[in-house]
Amino acid sequence: MQAATRTLIRPLSYLRSKLMSLSIFSKLVLAFLLVLIPLNALSLSMNQSGSNSVRAEISKLMTSRVHFYMDSLETEFARIISQGQEYIVDDDLQRLSIASEVMSEINIWEATMRLKKRLELLKSSSPYIRNVSAFIPALDRTISSNEYISRMSNEEFQAMLAPTNRYESPFLMWKDRLFISFPYPDNTVMHGTPPLFVLSVEISKDKIAKALNGFGSDDEGGVVLYSGKPALLVASDSEAAVYFKENLEQADAYNGSGLKSIKVGEEKVMVAFEASTKFDFTLFIYLPEKNVLGPLKQYRIGLWLLSCLSVVIIVCFSFFIFRLIHKPLKKLIQAFREVERGNLTVVVNPFKDEFRYLYDHFNEMVGKLNVLVHEVYEQKYRVRSSELRQLQSQINPHFLYNSFFILYRMAKIQDYENIVQFTKFLSEYYQFITRTGAEFIPLETEVAFVKTYADIQTIRFSNRIQAEFGEVPASCLKVTVPRLILQPLVENAYNHGMENKLSTGKIVVSFEERADLLVIAVEDNGDTLTDETLDRLITLLKLPAEEAESTGLINVHRRIRIKFGAQYGLAFSRGTDGGLKAQLTIPIPKEDDGHA
C-alpha cells in the first residue's frame, strides 16, 4: 500500500514542480485553458447529442413518410385491381364476347356504348389510370375509354395474355407501358384455351412520377418506385432515375423496410425504403446527408472555430495581462539589479495602480539602505583603523622585550664593545619606532629600519647568521607601505629558522618588481622546517581574522589585506635551501594614484 502511494506521489510531485517552474504567461494561459476546455468539451458533447437526436428524428420521419406513401400506393392499386375484377363480369362485356353472333347490330351498338361509359368511369376512378381497354376477339374489336372502337391489335392482345399473379405481381410491361390485365376466363383456369376477352388497365407512369415528385421535399433528393418483376423504374424526375440506376440500384440490398446511409463518391446519402407486402415493388426516398445534417455540421464547424478563436483570444488576453504584470515587475527587477551593482541612488517612478505600493516601499527601502550603507562603511572604517592601531601596538613592544634580554646577557659577560655598538643600533631602532606616529612610510625607510634590526641580530648571534639584502627597484623606493611589515618576517627567520643554526646561517631579503606588483621575499636556510609546520602556516593564512592566532606573521598578513585588499598579503613556501620562504605581495600604485 505504501509503495503504491509513493508511486502515485512521485509523478504528482514531479508535475507540481514542473507547473511551479512555468513562467507567469504560461500559467495564465494554462489557467484559462483549464476553464475553457471543459466548457468547449461540454458544448461539443451537447452538439453531438443534438446531432444524434436530430438524425434519429429525421430517420424516423423519412421512414414514416415512405411507409405512408407506400400504403397510399398499395391502397390505390388494390382498389384498381378490385374494380377490374368487378368489371370482367359486366353483362354487356359478357354478351359482346359470347353472344355477339346472335345480337343485332343495334344491340351490339347499345351494349358497346354502355360498356364504353363504364370503362370511362373506371378510368376516372383513379388518377393513376391512363386508359382502360376491353379486347373482344369475337368482334375483333377493342373498346377503349380514350377511343371509340378500334380494330383489335393482335400484338397488344397477345401481350396482355402474359401470365401474372394478380395479387402479388399484377403488373406487366409492354413497349415501356405499364398494364394490369384481366383475361376472362383466367389463364390458370383455361389451360391454354384462348380467353373470351381481356380487360386491360394501363397505368400512367407519368402520373405515378408526378405523385412521387409530390412525395419528395428536397431538390437534391428523389423518390423512386422500383420493381424487378417486371423491370419497373418510376422516379420523381429523370435525374432521380439516372442517379438511382448509377448509385443505388442494388435490389438484394433492400429487404423489408428501413434506412441506410450509403456513400456515393465523396458524399453520403440517406436512403429510406420499404418493400410492398402486397405487390412486387419497393419505394425509395433518398436524400444527401449534407442537406439534412449540413446545418448541424456547419454549427459544429462554427463551434470548433469559436473554440480556436477562444484559444487565440485567451492567449492574447493572457499576454496582455502578462504585460500588465511583467512590465512593472521588469522595471522593479532592473531597479534591484542597479542596487546590486551598488547604485543606491536609483528611484522607481510609481504607476498609478497596485504596483505603486511596491514601488513606494522599494524607494523607501533604497533610501534606508543608503543610510545604513554609509553608517556601516563609517563604522567599518573606524573598526579597521582601530584594529590597525591595535596590531601595530602588538609589534611595538615585542622587540623591546628581546632587546633588554640581550643587553642583560651582554652586560653580564662584560662585552662592553658590543654593548656600545648594540645600544647605538638599538637607539636608531627605537628612534624609528617613536619619532612618528604615521601608519604608512616609504619602502626605503622600512628597508633601512629592517637593516638596522638585522645588525642588532647579527650582534646577538655573534656573526653566526648573516643577513643579505637585495637592491630595491628604484621605482619602488617611494612606495608607501604599512610600518613594520618586513621586521616580523626577518624576526621569524631568526627566531624559528636559525635557532638551531650554529654556523653558516643565512637570511636573504630580495625585492622583485612584477608589472604592477612588488614581491618581497624573505628566505632562510634553516633546517628545522617540517611539512606539517609549513602546512599549518599556510592554513593560518586562510583562517578568518577572528579565528586566526594573533602572531607577528599573521598580523602582517592582516594589515596588508586591510590596507590593499584580499588579493595581497603573505604566502609561504619551502625555499631553495630548505628553509622557509615568506613572500609579501603589495601593489605598486600608478602615478595618479597613491597610498597615504
3-state secondary structure of 164: coil
Q: Stretch 242-260: mean pLDDT, rounded? A: 69
Together in a domain, 385 and 487: yes
Angle at 199 between CA 195 and CA 203, to 5 degrees: 140
Together in a domain, 400 and 272: no
Residue 9 counted as domain residue: no
Residue 443, Cβ density class (10 Å: 0-12 exposed, 13-18 middle, ≥19 buried): buried
Residue 410 counted as domain residue: yes
271 against 377, higher pLDDT = 271
Distance CA 307, CA 539 (A): 70
Task: Tell me: pLDDT of 207 over 90.
Answer: no
Together in a domain, 285 and 379: no
Residue 412 counted as domain residue: yes
Together in a domain, 405 and 508: yes
Residue 300 counted as domain residue: no
Task: Tell me: pLDDT of 186 over 90.
Answer: no
Residue 246 counted as domain residue: yes
Together in a domain, 281 and 182: yes
CA-closest candidate to residue 506, choices 532, 521, 524: 524
**H and E: helices and strands count for the chain:** 15, 18
Q: What sign does the dihedral 92-94-95-96 (CA atoms) show?
A: positive
Distance CA 22, CA 518 (A): 53
Q: How confident is the model at residue 530 (pLDDT cuts 50, 70, 90)?
A: confident
Task: Tell me: pLDDT of 519 over 80.
Answer: yes
Together in a domain, 279 and 418: no
Residue 518, Cβ density class (10 Å: 0-12 exposed, 13-18 middle, ≥19 buried): buried
DSSP annotation of 182: E
Q: Under the phi-then-psi rule, with left for phi > 0, alpha for psi from -120 to 50, and beta for the rest, what region is 513?
A: beta
C-alpha distances in angstroms, 48 versus 80, 293, 301?
A: 48, 11, 12
Distance CA 401, CA 110 (A): 177
Give the count of domains, the chain: 2
Q: How confident is the model at residue 595 (pLDDT cuts 50, 70, 90)?
A: very low
Together in a domain, 283 and 403: no
pLDDT tens digits for range 25-50: 676 677 777 777 787 777 777 777 77
Residue 358, Cβ density class (10 Å: 0-12 exposed, 13-18 middle, ≥19 buried): middle
Together in a domain, 399 and 281: no
Residue 27 counted as domain residue: no
Together in a domain, 105 and 199: yes
Residue 209 counted as domain residue: yes
Q: How confident is the model at residue 346 (pLDDT cuts 50, 70, 90)?
A: confident
Task: Tell me: pLDDT of 549 over 60.
Answer: no
The domain spanning residue 380 has which CATH number?
Answer: 3.30.565.10
Cell 512593472 -> residue: 328
Instruction: Print the domain residue range for 481.
Output: 375-587
Task: Tell me: pLDDT of 247 over 50.
Answer: yes
Together in a domain, 284 and 152: yes
Question: 291: which residues sit within 8 A by CB, 6+ positions away?
Answer: 218, 220, 221
Task: Tell me: pLDDT of 156 over 80.
Answer: yes
pLDDT tens digits for range 299-309: 777 777 877 88
Could you say which of 264, 291, 318 is where a domain stops? 291
3-state secondary structure of 344: coil
Instruction: Give the pLDDT score at 596.
Output: 37
CA-closest candidate to residue 134, choices 197, 78, 80, 73: 197
Per residue in 464-474, is it b (16+ CB within 10 Å) or e — as a string?
Answer: ebebebeebee
Question: 516: which residues sit within 8 A by CB, 6+ positions away?
Answer: 587, 588, 590
Together in a domain, 414 and 511: yes
Per residue in 495-517, is it b (16+ CB within 10 Å) or e — as a string?
Answer: ebbbeebeeebbbbbbbeeeeee
Q: Stretch 422-439: mean pLDDT, rounded? A: 75
Could you say which of 291, 324, 349 is where a domain stops? 291
Report for 14-18, 262-266, 276-280, 448-452: range of highest mean pLDDT: 448-452
Residue 313 counted as domain residue: no
Together in a domain, 284 and 393: no
3-state secondary structure of 515: coil
- Lowest-confidence range among 13-22, 99-108, 473-482? 13-22
Q: Report percent pLDDT > 90 for the chain.
A: 3
Could you say which of 273, 291, 309 is where a domain stops? 291
Residue pair 171/164 in contact by the 8 Å Cβ criterion: yes
Distance CA 277, CA 256 (A): 9
Q: Stretch 314-319: mean pLDDT, rounded? A: 74
Distance CA 383, CA 393 (A): 15
409 against 378, higher pLDDT = 409
Name the pTM for this structure: 0.48
